[in-house]
Structure 1
Amino acid sequence: MKKILKKAAVNLSAKVLKSFAISTSASACSVSFYQPKEPKCLREK
């Protein structure tokens, strides 16, 4: 019983954390919190 509950808790926490990571990364790009600098070789002259 203890093993089943532990496995369920691990699966649930993995799903929640994965969802949180995906939503955080998507919102950071769309809201412009993270704008990496463009390399010199890719800049238009």
Structure 2
Amino acid sequence: MPSGREKAQKDRFLDKIISFQSKKVSEMGLFCVLEAFLGAE
């Protein structure tokens, strides 16, 4: 069933995008915390 394989590929692709975005968001959050910490000094 090619449709099942295509769906699996699509899901894996979406997982990659989601994990990449969450990684970027966590890095931005870390940067904001760092900036706030340095700004408070």
Asked if Structure 1 and Structure 2 have the same fold, meaning a TM-score greater than 0.5 normalized by the shorter chain, the answer is yes
Structural RMSD (CA): 1.5
Larger radius of gyration: 1
The 5 A counterparts of 1:1-45 are: 1-32=6-37
TM-score (norm. length: structure 2): 0.71
Q: Number of aligned residue pairs: give it.
A: 33
Q: Which runs of 5+ in 1 are unaligned?
A: 33-45
More relative contact order in 1 or in 2 (CA 8 Å, sep 6+)? 1
Runs in 1 of length 4+ with deviation above 4 angstroms?
Answer: none
Q: Aligned to 1:2, what secondary structure does the other structure show?
A: helix
Normalised TM-score (structure 1): 0.66
5+ residue gaps, structure 2, are: 1-5
Instruction: State the 1:5 CA deviation.
Output: 0.5
